[in-house]
Structure 1
């Protein structure tokens, strides 16, 4: 498998339309129901903005794995940490304070994570961010700048 900066560039594409997210996720299943099922926690209303959750809530909720954690609890924490890494390292937005839950389909089956073309997706996100910063009104560049 070919890699770029350690990220696979072969495999299944990473895609999805954010405007159609509610219908896209798990065949029309409500996104927040699936969020609670996969992570076994639900943020309070003041930590939710449409399909975004505050980074501080995610960090606090999943900062310490219980000592007596069973395999499913470990999987939930792994899912949460992968979402945090995706949102803060590879696919960061300008706010830096929220995480989009559109990553749920990609972390639902952890064993499939290595089969996606994460390197291609990160490069596409970087190009998108570079195009946005070309606008003279934009003053802050975000994205996976480590790839530069």
Structure 2
């Protein structure tokens, strides 16, 4: 028995038709800028002399706790449209980075998926089910390696 693309569509409720989810992999992308522009919160620079995992941001991955703290206050009824959109982007990042495309760090979520939601209506154009299924297969393969923990 295996998980299929139809399972992703029926069980997870994500679309399997649409454009492939192929993102920017360039090391020159300024993910702090992307985070600051779309979410309204720019992660601080890494402190010099600190361990690798102490920085808030590592590549396109942000500490989930830091990001959640920025969006912990509920929106007011008369919140401006721009703020509502930032909260929507945060929710999308939480769902995609924390559920469909979760990795083994348990403390970081990727903001790389924001590039598919600018503008926010673009997200429905992509095949999120096939991307999530390939992600799942990749991590199942990694988990089956002899050195996996």
| TM-score category (smaller protein) | 0.7 to 0.9
The structure with the largest helix share of the pair is 1
Over 3 Å counting, the alpha-carbon distance change for 1:22 and 1:101 in structure 2 is: farther
- Stretch deviating more after TM superposition (40-49 or 77-86): 40-49
Unaligned runs of 5+ in 1: 24-29, 140-148
Partner of 1:41: 41
CA distance in 2, matches of 1:34, 1:47: 15
Over 3 Å counting, the alpha-carbon distance change for 1:50 and 1:122 in structure 2 is: closer
Unaligned runs of 5+ in 2: 1-5, 46-54
Partner of 2:148: 138
Q: Deviations over 1:40-92 (max 9, x none)?
A: 11123341223321100111101223313111110011101111111110001
Partner of 2:113: 103
* Aligned mate of 2:82, from 55, 72, 95: 72
Aligned alpha-carbon RMSD (Å): 1.9
Partner of 2:96: 86
Q: Is the 8 A contact 2:35 2:43 kept in 1?
A: no
CA distance in 2, matches of 1:122, 1:50: 20
Partner of 1:59: 68
CA distance in 2, matches of 1:33, 1:66: 24
Number of positions where the alignment pairs a residue of Structure 1 with one of Structure 2: 131
Q: 1:31 deviation in Å? A: 2.9
Report the TM-score, using the length of structure 1 for normalisation: 0.79
Partner of 1:22: 28
Report the TM-score, using the length of structure 2 for normalisation: 0.78
Partner of 1:128: 138
Q: 1:17 deviation in Å? A: 5.3
Over 3 Å counting, the alpha-carbon distance change for 1:116 and 1:21 in structure 2 is: farther
Which structure's CA Rg is the greater one? 2
